A = this chain, B = another copy of it.
Amino acid sequence: MILRIDRLQTKLPPPSDPDPIGASAVQELLGGKFGEMSTFMNYTYQSFNFRNRQGARPFYDLLASIAAEEFGHIELVSTAINTMLTGAADGTPGESGSLADVKGTRNTQQFIAGGASALVQDSMGKPWSGDYVNATGDLIGDLTHNFFLETGARNNKLKVYEMVEHPAARALTGYLLVRGGVHQVAYARALENLTGADMMKLFPSPRIPTDKIPECQPHIERGEHLKLYRFSPTDFHELAAVFNGPHPETGEELQVAEEIAPEGAPAFDLPSQPAVFAPGPQPEEIEEIAQKLRESAGLSKEPSGVVVQSADTNGNADSVMDKVKEAIA
């Protein structure tokens, strides 16, 4: 089972100029064959289907803890998409149409099926499929798959980085390139340990110069390219038995983090988008009801959640973007 912590694994920027076309491309990293749904679900089901766990404990622990990290990745990609879509559909309802601005967007369903929000689809609008999961129970086979999956995933991340210049997309891909690289090394190391093959010379694969990508730097500086977290208060201690030795690109020593999980950051409270009913056409009504429910339940008057900044949705500001700018000023 899992416990959830209401923080992102890394900080993402607040909404700025909306970029729905860019957001449609970022979907590839969420619901594409090599997107984070695939990494999350592959490792999760590989851990569920793992037989003889005690006998092969270090490998089980490795899979289970990386799987846990990947949940944070689907959360991050979704947040980036939602950030990029904020304010894109903001017209006046009626004659001209409150969604007229996005009539020509690539992914109409982000606005029709969603509320200016992420979908479980790739960049062509094809839904993620359970078919993308390879959880054969064959440890060497699954690790080979995982190494390949991370290779493809990093390829896609760099391409989205180069395609979409929105700050949220760049911050996202900068972080994921670093963390995906760690997972790729982890699976290669596991294969080496099981077979004796020397796979370190395959790195970097693809040849991505993360040391030259500005958005990767803060994470590399914090050593995020070198360490795995256990992502468990109680378990998965044995990944240390597999994840060690020198990093194939820098020669630095791989390590299991002392902290259970990265400190992360609270999410920015993305503002309501009344034109797409998110969370409703009159968000302040919902707020009022929430306020009353909180009171009658004896909870504190102020919302207890922690967010980077709460967006003002009661005001009569001109547009959502104004409200956002105000909020982040």
Most buried by B among A65, A159, A281: A159
Copies in the complex: 6
Closest to A302 in B: B54
Closest to A262 in B: B1
Q: Is the CB of A5 within 8 A of B232?
A: yes
Q: Is the CB of A108 within 8 A of B124?
A: yes
Q: Is the CB of A207 within 8 A of B123?
A: no
Beta-carbon contacts of A230-253 to B below 8 Å, as 1s and 0s?
A: 011111111011101000000000
Most buried by B among A69, A103, A201, A267: A103
Q: Is the CB of A41 within 8 A of B120?
A: yes
Determine whether A163 belongs to the interface, using a CB cutoff of 8 Å to chain B.
Answer: yes
Q: Is the CB of A271 within 8 A of B51?
A: yes
Q: How far is the CA of A71 from the CA of B48 in the complex (A)?
A: 11
Determine whether A131 belongs to the interface, using a CB cutoff of 8 Å to chain B.
Answer: yes
Q: Is the CB of B165 within 8 A of A95?
A: yes
Chain A contact residue count (CB 8 A cutoff): 170
Considering only residues 100-154 of chain A, those with a C-beta below 8 Å from chain B are: 100, 102-104, 106-109, 111-131, 133-141, 144-145, 147-148, 151-152
Q: How far is the CA of A283 from the CA of B136 in the complex (A)?
A: 15
Residues of B within 8 A of A284 (CB): 55
Some 26 contacts from A to B, beta carbons below 8 A apart, are: A3-B3, A3-B232, A3-B260, A3-B261, A4-B231, A6-B64, A6-B232, A21-B104, A32-B113, A49-B278, A51-B117, A51-B272, A53-B270, A55-B279, A56-B290, A57-B305, A60-B305, A102-B163, A104-B106, A121-B124, A124-B124, A127-B130, A138-B278, A191-B202, A194-B289, A240-B297
Residues of B within 8 A of A161 (CB): 97
Q: Is the CB of A54 within 8 A of B269?
A: yes
Q: How far is the CA of A32 from the CA of B111 in the complex (A)?
A: 13
Q: How far is the CA of A236 from the CA of B131 in the complex (A)?
A: 33
